[in-house]
Structure 1
């Protein structure tokens, strides 16, 4: 079954998160995803709060920019959340927006090398291993977590370009595809991920963000949203309308290879609590 969720966008004020998380949890929504975008809201702090306010909702962080974070700190925070809320935290890491990384003096000369080194070390630490490594960017000397999780959480990588998609297939447990990804683009991404996986037979979860809007002004808000992203003329990357319109788009993404579809509201969504309830109560029954 394709998992379904929504994004609490960092354009929404942080104090709004509690009401949205609780509405999602009460309505039976499966997943709520958060971004760590510069310079808006913290991914880890927001995830911890959302997990504490809810009972069953899974909370994804997609993504933590690895140039901003020492890998030991990422592992400590992920392990703490996993131990406190077993099986409910979903961890995503990635390059981050390079212009933002430059603004804070963290831009890497080789983002791909940094991501590979971070993924390898992070997954080993979360498995409870003692790690010594000296890479181009990641250096650890006899480091192990004192409180590793009982079961290592999956580590997903945000990816768009071919090289990063192949790397995600090789070095991560799953891949996050940004909004603006059409069903055909999901198929292409799956192919590149599989190239990276080679003969690996383990699971690899593909999470796809997808632009969605509902309500009487949905079409106008979506047009403005896509224009702001520079995607106004791109086909098959959004759905604006009623629950069936959104569900039809989700079904196409699932058929293309998405294991989870996370609906991304517009930045000016007037009722994110209602958006969460609509997905859980009206879209979910229409999606296999």
Structure 2
């Protein structure tokens, strides 16, 4: 974690004991995700996030299964948004995971994907404020307070009938843009920086530094984790091929400055975006170029991935090994662990 008790340390840089985290996507049955979480625990990971998309299995149900299958690894949604579910309900769900895991919960929260929310007829209004209000309110509820709130959402005399055993559940904010990054550094316990490449992580570190400069001392340590798309396998070619789907979606939602930072061919990026909008996924994946994979995914053999992890850790306090992981999930968890070990030796 970045120590914020001294202004000279208010920079999100790598430390001697970086956090290892992993994203497990509930496109598979809960029992398989629980088995993968147990494997991740055996391989030395510190946190397992269950990703949240309306078209996959419920992350809180999956986290409950993960809790039953593990003993020490921290668990939580990574990330949920406060639009599909009311923030008070989210606080109760996270507290329940803390209870069933004997105090191992973490709260991964973000603004959500604009296009996915649009599919549900939800307007992602005032995302920065809503995310901040959500975890502020959750902290009060976890502390046993009765809360009335009138802001980007409303709650009247809301309270919980359970107290999370951990007392204070760490909140990690999913962030990519400058304002969300700075807000997370000022107010949250950590940031899940949605980036894989050192160029993006270096830029994000500068934004986080600005937020840390205004962080109240009583908030304690802050941790910046690269929420990186990773695809690792014994074959470089197979790893990169498995990276095509997530990279296509990253390109489809990438802001112009991000594309410019990596000199991504605009015509190719537009072809990816247009195909995604038409629902032609195979076509979109086919338009993904090698340069896009290099920019938006850490893909390759264990050795290649280890080198990329080491480069990322120059700018963050740890890494979330995010989807797709690789063409073989169990093999990928083991290889990612080995790559992290090499990167941190």
TM range (shorter): 0.7 to 0.9
The offset of 1:155, in angstroms, is 1.2
Matched with 1:262 is 320
What is the distance in 1 between the residues matched to 2:215 and 2:138?
22
User: What pairs up with 1:197-276 in 2 under 5 angstroms?
Assistant: 197=212, 198-201=214-217, 202-210=220-228, 211-216=230-235, 217-222=238-243, 225-227=246-248, 229-230=250-251, 232=289, 233-234=291-292, 235-256=294-315, 258-266=316-324, 269-276=326-333
> Aligned Cα RMSD in Å?
2.4
Residue 192 (str. 1) matches residue 207 (str. 2): yes
User: Contact between 2:302 and 2:335, CA under 8 Å: does it hold in 1?
Assistant: yes
Tell me, what secondary structure is at the counterpart of 2:79? strand
What is the distance in 2 between the residues matched to 1:11 and 1:80?
22
User: Contact between 1:213 and 1:265, CA under 8 Å: does it hold in 2?
Assistant: no
Instruction: Report how many residues are paired.
Output: 283
**Which sections of structure 2, spanning at least 5 residues, go unmatched?**
1-16, 252-287
Residue 145 (str. 1) matches residue 160 (str. 2): yes
What is the distance in 1 between the residues matched to 2:19 and 2:96?
25
Stretch deviating more after TM superposition (13-22 or 123-132): 13-22
Question: For the structure 1 residues 265 and 196, does the alpha-carbon distance in structure 2 shift closer, same or farther, using more than 3 Å as the test?
Answer: closer
Structure showing greater Rg: 2
TM-score between both structures, scaled by the size of structure 2: 0.74
User: What pairs up with 1:24-103 in 2 under 5 angstroms?
Assistant: 24-103=40-119
The offset of 1:223, in angstroms, is 5.1
The offset of 1:218, in angstroms, is 1.9
What is the distance in 2 between the residues matched to 1:219 and 1:28?
25
The offset of 1:212, in angstroms, is 2.6
**Which sections of structure 1, spanning at least 5 residues, go unmatched?**
none
The offset of 1:190, in angstroms, is 2.4
Matched with 2:341 is 285
The offset of 1:236, in angstroms, is 4.9
Question: For the structure 1 residues 98 and 227, does the alpha-carbon distance in structure 2 shift closer, same or farther, using more than 3 Å as the test?
Answer: closer
Question: For the structure 1 residues 87 and 184, does the alpha-carbon distance in structure 2 shift closer, same or farther, using more than 3 Å as the test?
Answer: farther
Residue 123 (str. 1) matches residue 139 (str. 2): yes
The offset of 1:272, in angstroms, is 0.8
User: Contact between 1:29 and 1:279, CA under 8 Å: does it hold in 2?
Assistant: no
The offset of 1:221, in angstroms, is 2.9
What is the distance in 2 between the residues matched to 1:124 and 1:188?
33
User: What pairs up with 1:169-188 in 2 under 5 angstroms?
Assistant: 169-178=185-194, 180-188=195-203
Residues 125-181 of structure 1: per-residue CA shift (max 9 Å, x gap) = 22333322211x322223232322242111111111112222222332211122x44
What is the distance in 1 between the residues matched to 2:334 and 2:124?
40
User: Contact between 1:174 and 1:205, CA under 8 Å: does it hold in 2?
Assistant: yes
